[in-house]
Amino acid sequence: MDYTSLIPVADSIPAPAWLFVILEQLIFLLHIVLINAVLGGALIMLFGRNMEKDSGTAYNRYMPVAAQLPVMVALAINLGVPPLLFMQVVFGHLFYTSSVLMAVYWIMIIPLLILAYYAIYIHKLKFLRSPLLSKLSLGTAILFILYIGYIQVANNALMEQPESWTAYFAQRGGTFLNSSHQTFLPRYLHFIVSSVAIGGLLFALVFHFRKETVEKREESIRRGLRIFALATSVQVVVGCWYLLSLPREFILQFMGRNALATFFLLAGAVCGTGAMVTAWSGQFKTTILLTLATLAAMIITRYQLRIMYLNDHFSVSELTLNPQYGVMALFLIILVAGLVVIGYMLKVGFNKTERSAAQ
């Protein structure tokens, strides 16, 4: 069967595609930072808590991060919504198709995410009173988040590879998981390893803002940065593996044939390597900045790869524009107003003067 005949017709879009792409990538950056931090933080914590015999030390070392995780999950989920929304505007016809093909795995994300979310709460609430339950909860949350990541990667991969869609005719029950593809494993590992790296940074960040003794604080930050550096060095290997697993044509595009793609991949690699070096040397703020730059470059690279995959089947320029500029303007106004109000709430919520007045 000719798979190209399977590709659905896309609906018209209410604003230029670039707007949705930018919004998607921008907010996705925030989302992935948070999700990486949650997963990586949780992995480091589970490993660390199992290694640490002394519960008091474990509490001091990990509870500050554990306490932040529920809020981070809340924000991560929330910030996952716009990228998914804006991506559907541009790539919806491909994304809905791949989602249906793997529907069973895809919909399982929801109950597992709810359970993972509650498990993160239980982990925090039972940290001291019931360490076993706490750790089991954390392990459960990690497993579920790993599952969700796996499925997200699989769906993105499937969406980008319509040539594998003909499998539907043998598997119509939504159980087709295109994870045996040669790029899948490095792609997934690329996400997990980066999570560990960001998790390390999370530790550094949390302790950076804590009122510990300088020595303890520094030690914790250093530990976090070391984890970051180690994970990033692994990430270099995984990244290369991922690159080499791609079709030859894509590799060549990243190796100079496509200037834009090459630039961003290179920028990401350079910033990442830089971050690794600064992390080893304990430069916290520089590492943070370089990491954000790396992530931004890699997210753009990810988008470039998507375009390469879809090149033969779809181009965003094919989409019909049916403008709704008035509503778009309203959204932008409300977005700004919303951010102002959020800023105001943060201000009153964390106003030190007022807090002391309240006390």
Partner 1 sequence: MNYPIWELAQLNSGTLVAFIATIHAYVAHLAVGGGLFLWLTDLKAVRDNDPVIKAYVKRHTWFFLLLTMVFGGVSGVGIWFIIALANPAATSSLIHHFVFGWAIEWVFFIGEIVALLIYHYRHDQMREKDRLRVAFLYFLFAWLSMVVINGILAFMLTPGKWLETGQFWDGFLNPSYFSSLFFRSAAAVMIAGLFGYVTVVFSKEEELRGKMVKYCTKWLLYPVPFIMAGAFWYIHSVPESVLQTTFHLNAQTQFVVTAFVVTSVLIFVAGLFYSLRTTPLLQKIMVFVFLLIGLGWYSSFEYLREYARKPYIIHGHMYSTSILAADVEMLNREGVLKHARWSSVHQVTEENRLAAGRELFNLQCLACHTIGGVKNDIIEKTRDLTYMGMISQLYGQGKVLDYMPRFTGTRQEMEALAAYIISGLQGKELVTTLAQFDPTPVDNEIPPFDSATDDYVLLAWNDLGMHCISDCDPWFILLPPANTLEAQLIKRGALPEVITDGIVLKFRVEKGFENPSAHVEFWDFAESYFGVRLDKNRGLGGKGLEGEFDWHEERNSFVAEMIPVVPYHDDGSFQPYPLFIIDAVEKETGRLLASTKAVAPVSTEMGCRNCHGGGWRVNGVSGVADETAVNILKVHDRINGTALYGSASQGSPVLCQSCHADPAIGAPGTEGHNNFSTALHGWHANYMHVEGGRACVMCHPAAAEGNTRCNRGIHPQMGLTCTNCHGTMEEHATGLLNAQMENPSSRRLVKNLTTTVSEVKPRTPWIQEPQCLACHRQFKQPARSSSGVNSWNEAFSQLYRIRTDNAGLRCSACHNSPHSEYPAYNAFGKHRDNTQPMQYARSPLPIGAEFSCTVCHKKEMNHSVHHPNMVRPFRNKQAVREQ
Quote the Cα angle for 79-236-279, to 5°: 75
101 binds partner 1 (CB under 8 A): yes
- CB nearer to partner 1: give 107 or 240: 107
How many residues touch partner 1 under the rule CB under 8 A: the total is 74
- CB nearer to partner 1: give 17 or 202: 17
* In contact, 210 and 64? CB cutoff 8 Å: yes
Token pair for 192: 């997990």
We find the least distance from the C-beta atom of residue 48 to partner 1, in angstroms, to be 24
* Cα–Cα dist 342/267, whole Å: 33
Residue choice 86, 144, 184, 188 for contact with partner 1 (CB under 8 A): 86
Segment 220-259, which members bind partner 1 (CB under 8 A)? none
Quote the Cα angle for 191-93-14, to 5°: 105
CB atoms under 10 Å from CB of 182, counted, come to: 11
- CB nearer to partner 1: give 113 or 265: 113
Residue choice 47, 50, 96, 128 for contact with partner 1 (CB under 8 A): 96
Segment 111-140, which members bind partner 1 (CB under 8 A)? 111, 113-114, 117-118, 121
Residue choice 14, 16, 131, 139 for contact with partner 1 (CB under 8 A): 14
* Residue 352 burial by Cβ neighbours in a 10 Å radius (0-12, 13-18, 19+): exposed
Residue choice 40, 41, 92, 274 for contact with partner 1 (CB under 8 A): 92
CA dihedral 234, 239, 245, 250 (to 10 degrees): -170
Segment 41-80, which members bind partner 1 (CB under 8 A)? 71, 74-75, 77-80
Residue choice 63, 103, 133, 289 for contact with partner 1 (CB under 8 A): 103
We find the least distance from the C-beta atom of residue 5 to partner 1, in angstroms, to be 6
We find the least distance from the C-beta atom of residue 124 to partner 1, in angstroms, to be 12
- CB nearer to partner 1: give 180 or 353: 353
Residue 321 sits at φ, ψ, to 5 deg, of -95, 125
* In contact, 134 and 126? CB cutoff 8 Å: yes
Alpha helices in 126-183 (DSSP H): 131-160
We find the least distance from the C-beta atom of residue 337 to partner 1, in angstroms, to be 8
Write the interaction track for partner 1 spanning residues 261-300; mark x where CB under 8 A is met and - where it is not. Answer: ----------------------------------------
Residue choice 47, 57, 107, 240 for contact with partner 1 (CB under 8 A): 107
We find the least distance from the C-beta atom of residue 29 to partner 1, in angstroms, to be 15
Residue choice 29, 69, 89, 204 for contact with partner 1 (CB under 8 A): 89
Token pair for 228: 């970051």
* Cα–Cα dist 245/240, whole Å: 8
Q: Which residues of 21-45 are buried (b: 16+ CB within 10 A; e: fewer)?
A: bebbbebbbbbbbbbbbbbbbbbbb
What is the Cα 63 distance to its own chain's centre?
23
* In contact, 106 and 155? CB cutoff 8 Å: yes
CB atoms under 10 Å from CB of 172, counted, come to: 12
Segment 164-203, which members bind partner 1 (CB under 8 A)? 165, 168-169, 172-174
Residue choice 60, 88, 273, 283 for contact with partner 1 (CB under 8 A): 88
